[in-house]
Amino acid sequence: MPNQLSVRLSVMMFIQYLIWGAWYVTGPLYLGPLGFTGADFAWMYSVGPIAGIISPIFVGMVADRYFPAEKVLGVTHLAGALAMFGAISFMGAEDPNPNMINLMFLVHMLCYFPSLALTNTLAMRNLDDPDQSFPRIRVFGTIGWIIAGLAISRFGWDTSINMFNLAAWSAVAMGLYCFTLPHTPPLEKGEKPTLGQLFGLDAVVLLKNRSYLVFIISSFLICIPLAFYYQMASKVVQQTG
């Protein structure tokens, strides 16, 4: 039987990926008729990677040195929810502005992307045997992504603004839930970060490890077709019936 902590961390992972899965693939089906052009969609799916490069520098520094991980998670998800609600308000305008919607998506992703690493950190820091326990907990993130897609299709939200409402309210729930998670204090509290640490340059030395280098190259390559999937899959499925 899973213990209480494992259940709580599994719920965390479930909501974490439900937020992302609620809108990231099916979003174009609603935004296309709203007036998004090909260039607008290009920016929509560029703001996530941009946020993924920028935000860990700041949020990681804060979480590692000044504040507990669960509180940083709570704040980032609540801020991300506000950004998604902002995007929804621009979608509902009389003349929707794709640039403003994408700006809100950028703010949302600046808050969301660091939480991907923080949820992993929080889980592994609080598990007695993370090597054995973490995979069973992390799989609930994938289940959350799947359930989001199934729910959207089941309720006919594939072409509805409700997919974004689901993401926003799930982020609110996640933000509040994070404050109930186990206290996870910073490991490097009081230490002044170096420039290399801020930009992840200290990790470059790991590339000398052949296994790690293969992993990094493989991750880079798999993200290329993954980007096409995120942006084009819903349109292809819609056109093929």
The Cα 111–Cα 83 span in angstroms is 9
pLDDT digits (tens, 9 = 90+) for 96-148: 999 999 999 999 999 999 999 899 999 999 998 888 899 999 999 999 999 99
pLDDT digits (tens, 9 = 90+) for 138-175: 999 999 999 999 999 999 998 999 999 999 999 999 99
- Mean pLDDT to the nearest integer, 44-58: 86
Confidence of residue 232 (pLDDT cuts 50, 70, 90): confident
CATH superfamily ID and name for 4-190: MFS general substrate transporter like domains (1.20.1250.20)
